[in-house]
Amino acid sequence: MPVRHASVAHPRGPRHARRLVARRALRVVALSLTGVLLFGVSAFAALGARLNSNIRQMDVGSLLGEPAPTDGTTVEADPVDPNAGRPINILVLGSDQRNGANAAIGGADPSTNSDTAIVLHISANRDRVEAVSIPRDSLVDIPSCQATNGKKSGPQHNAMFNSAFGTGWQLGKDLASAAACTGRTVQNTTGLKIDHFIVVDFVGFQAMVNAVGGVNICIPRDLHDVYTGLNLKAGQQTLNGVQALQFARARHGNIGNGGDLDRIGDQQRLIAAIANQVLSANTLANPAKVTSFLSAATSSLTVDSGLNLVTLSGLAYSLRSVRANDITFMTIPVLTAPSDPNRLVWAPAAKIVWADMVADKPIAGADAPVSTPSSSATPSHAATSGGATATTAPAGTATATPTPAQTKVAGQQPFTPADVTAVCK
């Protein structure tokens, strides 16, 4: 009797054949994953190459004069941080060069002086960063400078600090000559050795701010300046690239008296806010934002020939343990110039600041007010110091949230990004 529902016999391959098919399947998966990984590595390599090619370099070292003396010892370079074990001083310059795309922002100006100057000191053990602003209106002695074309300028006595950049530019008609003359001036007046240079232009600054979706900053009261077009309402604001640049450059209208101290305070607050924005979770968790910011940042920089993406990345990695309260912003202490009420001279305390940086020591008096001209004792748009006094509410009533207290006045007192430099209600 035939068996109902009998299954039809199928030929079965040997067991080793089935194992071969399984191995082939795993191999396909492995090859696919390898391809994805290789694509990722290649993409990162391509991105790195593109970012590195974005950075414009200039040969400044040969224009600074004799190299600093050494003790004759040599230290094997750290592949991650080539400057490991020694302090680094970087002169950061904001150029108001107004040709090309920058002309539409700032208008024609043949002077080409430096709009911003910050000496960035990184401690040898990489646990401290100090950013000291030098007012453009301060009077200093500018030494003889040499340009890339071999031309030389004579020394200048009691000249505005920012004119050193213009002097170098007029000599060589290039950023290397301009930066080198500013670097020589800093070295001669402070005793510091400038290791590296970074020049940032208007357009690049705007692009960096836009790349991270704007920068969040407190504006204590309405601000306006017809020179830059700044027009901001009071409150917590997210500034786009144009507004951030206007805010960084403004020093007229109700910003101040046309001097540089109020503007320096705003620039310091803005840099701290940009740093907080870039390092925020909203930015770091967004690969597109990170890539966009890095592309904008590298495209906006002109650096000395000793800096490239590898050395910058290594330096950034070596600073990975630095926290907000390890970064100090300050303005070099100044007084009103006896010869001109519209100019500044460095106060005696400036010598102590520079000496501490030369010795790689924390800046002395970092918690004390900076001596400033009496006419600018309090920035015209800064929130007043102090805050609400804590009180005990009667039983059964709601407790009001205390108003944050301003702890430091940017531009006049050293501060860190962890300090409160303005209060928005």
Q: Is residue 19 part of a domain?
A: no
Any domain includes 16: no
Contact 168, 145 (CB under 8 A): yes
Beta bridge partners of 219: 235
364 found inside a domain? yes
How does pLDDT run across 56-100, given as a tens digit for each residue? Answer: 899 998 898 754 444 444 445 566 677 788 999 999 998 765 444
Within a domain: 108: yes
pLDDT for 134: 96
Distance between CA 293 and CA 394 in Å, rounded? 51
* 402 CB neighbour count, 10 Å cutoff: 11
Query: In the predicted model, what is the mean pLDDT of the chain?
Result: 78
In a domain, 115, yes or no: yes
Residue 355 lies in domain: 53-63+79-376
pLDDT at res. 247: 92
pLDDT of residue 300: 84
What would the two tokens of residue 103 be?
């002309």
**Residues, the chain, total?**
425
Distance CA 283, CA 241 (A): 16
CATH number, domain with residue 268: 3.40.630.190
The two beta strands, 56-58 and 301-304, are parallel
Give yes or no for a contact between 230 and 337, defined as CB atoms under 8 angstroms apart.
no
Domain annotation covers residue 417: no
Of 285, 140, 259, 271, nearest to 208 (Cα)? 271
C-alpha to C-alpha distance for 31 and 26, rounded to whole angstroms: 8
Q: Can you give the pLDDT at residue 407?
A: 83
DSSP 44-56: HHHHHHHHHHH-E
Residue 118 lies in a domain: yes
Q: Is residue 14 part of a domain?
A: no
Task: Report helix, strand or coil for 91.
Answer: strand
Total domains, the chain: 1
pLDDT at 184: 96
Instruction: Provide, rounded to the nearest whole percent, the portion of the chain with pLDDT above 70.
Output: 71
User: In 43-193, at which residue ranges do the beta strands (DSSP E only) sit?
Assistant: 56-58, 88-95, 114-122, 129-133, 139-142, 156-160
Q: Is 186 helix (H, G, I), strand (E, B) or coil?
A: helix
Which of these, 156, 83, 175, lies nearest to 360 by C-alpha position? 83
Residues of the chain falling short of pLDDT 70: 1-48, 66-80, 96-113, 256-259, 365-404
Q: Which of 365, 380, 373 is nearest to 413 (CA)?
A: 365
